[in-house]
Amino acid sequence: MQGIIFNALEEFVLENADMATWNAVIDKSQVASKGVYTSGVNYDDSEIVSLATQLCSELSIPLEDGLKLFGEFLFSFLMNNGPIELGQYDNAQTLLENLDSVVHRDVKRLHPDAYTPFFSYEPVDKETGKLTYFSRRKLCMVAEGLLKGAAKHYGQSVSLNHSKCMHQGADKCCWDIKFEQLNP
């Protein structure tokens, strides 16, 4: 997992709690990096899982909700601080359509050893479509949060039907998605 995601998580904790909480989460989760995260460096996937689990326990919220919230936060964080230019898309659908072929390809170019999840969006019509997700990290809740964050960014509402889930034994996660443009 890229260091920038850990930076986002730290920022998320500081925004929703405080530095002492973050210190405690690091301390208690006993991660190998001891919480020292640099944006361009790759860290073990297990660290994000440990940190997220510990954080939800500290804040007394279910892990799924925590991950969804973090996902939503992560989208705007990456929009503002990420190394990839994302401002060229007008709506969440176009972004999803180009996610693998353009955005993740750019990530690979900057960080050849980065592991990127697989996204495939097939539009049904202008507003609806089917999204397929696969990652060895199985962070589909973060993906849902990211979708919400994206819709929010483009002034859209989004309704998600998580029809297949890797946590339920499916080989991939699938959503039926409907985006609606909110009045400007």
Partner 1 sequence: MSDAYQVAYEREKQARLAAEKLLDEKTREVQSSIDMIQHQFNDLMRQKKESDYLLAVARLTQLNEGLSKSVQQYTQESMLFLGAKFSRYSFINEGKIKISSTIGLDEFLPALKIQAYKKIYGHHDRTTVCIKDLNQIELERICEKNDVDRVVLLPIKSFGKVTTVCEIYLPKTIDFKSEVLDQCQVAGYQIGGMLERNANNKKLEDSFSEITSSHDRLKQAQAQLVQSEKMASLGQLSAGVAHEINNPIGFVMSNFGTLREYIDVMSEYFTLSGQLLAVSDDDIAKKMQAIDDEQDIKFIFNDIHNIMDDCDDGLRRVKEIVANLKSFARGDEEEAEDFDLNTCIENTIKVVWNELKYKVTLHKEFDETLPLIHGHEGQIGQVIMNMLVNAAQAMEQEGEIYINTQKQDAIIRLTIRDTAKGMPESVIEKIFDPFFTTKGVNEGTGLGLSISYGIIEKHGGTIKVESEEGVGTSFIIELPCGK
18 binds partner 1 (CB under 8 A): yes
Q: Which tokens hold the place of 175?
A: 């959503």
Closer residue to partner 1, CB minimum distance, 1 or 131: 1
**Cβ of residue 36: shortest distance to partner 1, in angstroms?**
4
> Which residues in the 36-95 window bind partner 1 by CB under 8 A?
36-41
Q: Which positions ≥6 away from 163 have C-beta within 8 Å?
A: 174, 175, 176
108 binds partner 1 (CB under 8 A): no
**Cβ of residue 56: shortest distance to partner 1, in angstroms?**
20
Binding span for partner 1 by CB under 8 A among 14-22, 50-58, 147-155, 164-172: 14-22
Q: Which of 1, 2, 8, 22 binds partner 1 (CB under 8 A)?
A: 22
Binding span for partner 1 by CB under 8 A among 32-40, 52-60, 67-75, 87-95: 32-40
Amino acid at 56: C
19 binds partner 1 (CB under 8 A): yes
Is the CB of residue 146 less than 8 Å from the CB of residue 71? yes
H or E segment at 175? Answer: strand 173-181
**Cβ of residue 19: shortest distance to partner 1, in angstroms?**
4
Q: How many residues bind partner 1 (CB under 8 A)?
A: 14
Measured between alpha carbons, how far is 133 from 174 in angstroms, rounded to an integer? 6
Is the CB of residue 103 less than 8 Å from the CB of residue 120? no
What DSSP line would sit under 47-90, residue for residue?
HHHHHHHHHHHHHT--HHHHHHHHHHHHHHHHHHH-SS--TT-S
30 binds partner 1 (CB under 8 A): no
**Cβ of residue 130: shortest distance to partner 1, in angstroms?**
39
Give the single-character DSSP code of 2.
B
| Footprint of partner 1 (CB under 8 A) | 18-20, 22-23, 26, 34-41
